Chain A
Amino acid sequence: MVTNKLCMSGLRVIRRFLAGAVFLLSVSSILAGDEQTEIQNELKFASELIKAKFPDYAQKSVDKLLIKYPAAKAEASRVRIEVLTSRGKFDEAEAVLKTMPPGTPETIVMYLAVGDQYYAFSRMKDAQRIYEGFFKQFPKGPPAEVARLYGESAYKFSQMLLLVGDLPAALEAYRRVLTCPLNSSEIERRVKTEIAELCLRVAQLNETPAAKKKDLLAEALKLCNEVQWSGTDLWFAKTLVIMAHIHMVNGDPSRARKVLTDYMGMLSDVDKMLRESKESSKLSPMAECKFLLGTLCEDEARALMSDKTKDPETIKLFAQAMSQFYTVAQNYPGSTWAPEARRRADGIADMLETDYGKTVKRPERNNTQMVSEQLKEARVLFQNQEFKASAEKYIEVLNMADDFKGAPWAVSELARSYIELNDAPYAQAMTGFLAERYSQTTNRYEEGGNALLAVAVAYDERKAQPKADAVYDLFFANYPDHSKAPAILFRQGEVALRLTNYVAALKNYQRIVETYPRNRAYPDALSRAGYCLSMLGDHTNAIPMLTNYIAQVFSGAEMVTSRLRLADEYRQANMIVPALNEYARLLKLIAQDSAKYSETPEDVARVKRATEFALYSKAQCYSRLRDPADQIPSYQQKAVEGYELFMKDFPKSELAPAALGAMGTLNYLMNKADVAGKCFERLKADYPNSVQALDTVFVRADALMSMGDVQKAVVVFGEMLKSPQSFKPTQFLRAGRVLLEAQEYDVAKGLFAEAIKTQDVPLWQAASLGYGQALVGAADYEAAIGVYTNFLGKYAKSGYVIEVNLSLSRAYAEMGKKMPEAQKAKPYFDKAYGAMGKVRQYARDPELLVRADLEMAAIQLLQGDKMGAMASYMKILLFTDPSNQKVRPLVEQAFDNALPLMKDLGRYQDMVEACETYLKQFPTGRLVIKARQGRDEAKARLATGR
């Protein structure tokens, strides 16, 4: 153990890898000077991009460069290799390497760089292959031109091997360093000392054969002698201690002791010299030497313990050992030996007192210095990514004390060391300790929170999201008043938002809104919460968020865009009058002083865009106003005027065709057929490729739909059926779909019937599905079954099979319900379940699966199986992930359908559970009042037993 420690400490003197080799020779080039400069600048930029973790952009940059300068391909290979290796695409990187001229210094450097990246990706075998391949090129030692690169690489490779614990290979690599000219006797002596230490370490391995051990110890001794012959300094002193160890390993403790005592004066001088030059006492060999002497005395004393007649001598030796150990602990608190020395000294002191009845005067403890020194070493180990050693060191430190300044960081780094070592239980234990230990203190509260966050970040970096989230939860639970809490919530919100997980993002933003109204993240949290609510279709709740946000934004383009957002929310919530007012207010603000909102060119563009949308939407709102009815013509006139203004100011807008279409339709409604005709003519002339120009009937009907005038829209769509030869199947399909969504099944049926006359297979499939759905909607189940059976007979593997079966199952169930006797109904219901089985067999999308469950419940209800239907609804409520925005409305629908069923069946406990689940998942949902009432009623029923 002693020897192991010795070797470790010696090798830690140099831990950092040498800087990358700099042997790049300029590549001869046919390119001119300026071009060469540009190429070099671009390649440098690409390298910087890789370092900044933008390898994809580096690749793009290089690609662009090569388009401009194809001759720069060879030079660009370097960056290409960097890009590939940074993304872990090693096979491709090695393939590129093979295209480079072999044996040139640049190729060699790149080759070794790939090796380094293999190591960084923990692919040591590949790193070893690369490095050994390089060394094998020079079996008789490196030629002068690559000697330095060879030496540096050998040193770097040996360090890699040491860190992965392959000591024999590390020694072999280390020996190669000596085959290169080192150009400095200081470096040479240092390398020799380190090789001697490594020889000693390898010799002590159990798997090293005896003969080999002997050779290794002889080699170490020889190297020590060489070092000692060329000077009396630190390296001389270190080799003395190594020599003492060699004698100990060889079973000759007296010789070991002699080496140390004979040269004690010299060792003291080195120690004094280091102290005077203010070098760290950690470098001094004295601590090691005294530890060794203590060990020798202790070993000797323990050998005498069985012979009671020799107690005085035993006690004396123990006392000497204790003294040496205490000296190490007191005088060299920063050395790696100090904690172990103190433990051993305390152990001996206890033994002398209890077993030998001696009184021991123990030195006064000074933990502060030792903790501080040991902590420094632990930090260095952690920074050097020696996680196993750093964890051991941190445990040593924290066993001494855990409430010093920096203690939370120590625990955090300990937890992170365990994370790196993939030791999940210990990492979790330390994280939990960190969360609780310092959250109740006042002086370590902030530090404790920060240290805990660092653990969360470590999980984040490893993409271990559930674990990171768990640590963030711990943070919010234990450090709610931490200064970073709002910022972290905001950041979490941003991450969720980026993943379009609006539910999770909203949760974080709402927490800021509710808990930290004075924080600077508050306004942005309001804005983003409004956005999330909008994306979740909860426009009514988005309105107060945005109103509050606008109150926080005093000026600038942001004020303009946020007002536009508010107006849009009103419009989408179908609150047309407030929407109209907001659009009008916004346009007035801009008209009064547009410069006030346009400080930068970007602002100018934003304000321009806001004006464009506001003008269009305002006109659209007028067209949708229906109350009072006698004012409709006046509203329509205002809408037309609004669209005209829009067309005047923004003729190139992407909304222009839609505006023209709406103008035409409005004029048509206002009995101005000639004006309407002109609008449609202009649409065809100015925007010939727009969807609107290609299908004016559709435009008219669609505009009527958007104005909320469904009946008139149905009439317009119906006109298509009067002259079907004038329309294409795609136009029928599109029109049919609009009416299907508006539940206008009768006309939709006719439109789809025209669409399925097509010869185009994908179009026919889409139209048949719509036709069947329209028939089901119109309660013509038998015909729908016919359409679907024909479909499945022709295209059993179509992408529409799931949707077809979903609708078919309903058609069968409805037919079953129509049957007067259960016996006749059964085959239909069996077929309904069969079709549903197909849906479940093929569906993978969560939305489809929930829709299938809803449909299943509907079939069960048709069959009179209320219990089964309730179970289907509960399955949706309890087991569906409500953060999926597509699924959320379906979950709400399931809850809405389930509630009366539960009441009917008297399942009050289930009712309480369903209501509480709903309230938890949809705190601002549309059924909140219903859920509360349902829960309270169910609880009352349970309490009264009625």
Chain B
Amino acid sequence: MKHKFIVMGVGVLGVILATAGFAKAESVNKHDGTEVRGNKVKWFAVRQEYQVEDAEGSIITIPVDDVASVRITKPVEFDKAAQACDAKQYDVAIPILEDLISRYKRLEWDGKASELLAKACFGKGDYKKAAQVMGGIIEGTPKSLVTDDQNALYWSALLNAQMMAVLKKNLNEAIAGESRSLAALALIRRGEMNKEDGKREDAVLDFLRVILVYDDILQVQPEALYKGAKLLDEMRDPRADELKKRLTSRYSDSPYARKLGG
């Protein structure tokens, strides 16, 4: 009877360990749908392959061409860096993130750390580096997986770094692209750029295009209306009132409507 209890105890412990091991497990998902789990996943750049090491220490090698994605345990430093970014301690966050990027190359967290690094550089005012990092991320990601937020950050960094030629090219590609929400966002940025260049009528056209052609992309409407109205105001064009009216009546809760005042 006692023996039975011991057996049961070992069994429970085994389940607990197995569960703990499962929670910490890293894995490689292959294009054929199979998942290879293990304690540790490593990347070998020279051989262009992943190695999955299981609990017993045996290693499975997987060529990069077979890999769809990898899942790696979140490094503790990542949260530290994120916290430092939130506290605007960019000088603390940046070296941590750079270290993570080099240590976790092609191991999931390099991408996430890069994005955070770009944000930190932007916050610090190092726009050139922010643009460089974001450009790298976007280039290395399939177009369909790049989010609007990532693009927005990239464009802002380019704008502030005065890398106008690259920005213009990117914006024009987005405007001609398939994603309507991205095109609308790109139009607003191009409007800002045109305004900065003194091409105020071109800027108005960009804002109006968002308002009239992309009226289904609601999330960008307040910004387009606000910026269009402000610019028309600067140009002493009374039609600014129409845009303001539209902003305050349709998007009264948006921060841009509140910014208008009155």
Contacts and interface: CB of A to CB of B under 8 A. Distances in A.
A54 B192 contact: no
Given A48-B213, A57-B204, A491-B241, A521 B261 contact: yes
Nearest to B176: A38
A627 interface: no
Given A498-B236, A595-B123, A601 B208 contact: no
A61 B212 CA distance: 13
B160 interface: yes
Contacts of A600: 156
Contacts of A601: 156, 159-160, 192
Contact of A60 (B88, B192, B201, B258): B201
B107 interface: no
Contacts of B241: 491, 494
A605 B212 contact: no
Contacts, number: 63
A490 B261 CA distance: 9
Contacts of B233: 494, 498
Contacts of A499: 236
Interface in A490-523: 490-491, 494-495, 498-500, 520-521, 523
Which of under 10, 10 to 19, 20 to 34, or 35 or more describes the interface residues of A? 20 to 34
Contacts of A486: 262
A524 B230 CA distance: 14
A687 interface: no
Contacts of A604: 125, 160
Given A490-B261, A593-B88, 9 more contacts: A41-B213, A53-B239, A54-B208, A60-B201, A490-B262, A491-B262, A498-B238, A521-B262, A602-B192
A453 B18 CA distance: 75
Interface string B164-192: 00000000000000000000000000001
A600 B160 CA distance: 10
B205 A61 contact: yes
A45 interface: yes
Contacts of A524: 261-262
B197 interface: no
A52 interface: yes
Interface in B148-171: 156, 159-160
B30 interface: no
Contacts of A54: 208, 239
B242 interface: yes
Contact of A45 (B212, B236, B262): B212
Given A494-B241, A595-B123, A57 B261 contact: no
A49 interface: yes
B209 interface: yes
A595 B160 CA distance: 13
Give the 6 A-B residue pairs with the shortest CB-CB distance, closest first: A524-B261, A490-B262, A48-B212, A521-B262, A601-B156, A498-B236
Contacts of B201: 57, 60
Interface string B241-262: 1100000000000000010011
A731 interface: no
Nearest to A495: B238
Interface string B118-155: 00000111000000000000000000000000000000
B204 A595 contact: no
Given A60-B201, A521-B261, A601-B159, A45 B238 contact: no
B99 to A, nearest CB: 23
A45 B233 CA distance: 22
Interface in B201-231: 201, 204-205, 208-209, 211-213
A487 interface: yes
A524 B201 CA distance: 26
Contact of B262 (A48, A487, A595): A487
A521 B258 CA distance: 10
A602 B156 CA distance: 9
23 contacts: A44-B213, A49-B208, A49-B212, A52-B211, A57-B201, A57-B204, A60-B201, A60-B205, A486-B262, A487-B262, A490-B262, A491-B241, A494-B241, A498-B233, A498-B236, A498-B238, A520-B262, A521-B261, A523-B261, A524-B261, A595-B88, A600-B156, A604-B125
Contacts of B209: 45
Nearest to A602: B192
Nearest to B201: A60
A466 to B, nearest CB: 17
B260 to A, nearest CB: 8
A45 B213 contact: yes
B34 to A, nearest CB: 41
A52 B225 CA distance: 13
A225 interface: no
Contacts of A500: 236
A528 to B, nearest CB: 9
B79 interface: no
A605 B205 CA distance: 22
Interface string A20-46: 000000000000000000000100110
A594 interface: yes
Given A520-B262, A524-B261, A605-B196, A53 B242 contact: yes
B261 A520 contact: yes
A57 B208 contact: yes
B224 to A, nearest CB: 13
Contacts of B156: 600-601
Contacts of B208: 49, 52, 54, 57
Contacts of A44: 213
Contacts of A520: 258, 261-262
Contacts of B159: 601
A490 B159 CA distance: 34
Contacts of B204: 57
Interface string A50-89: 0011100100110000000000000000000000000000
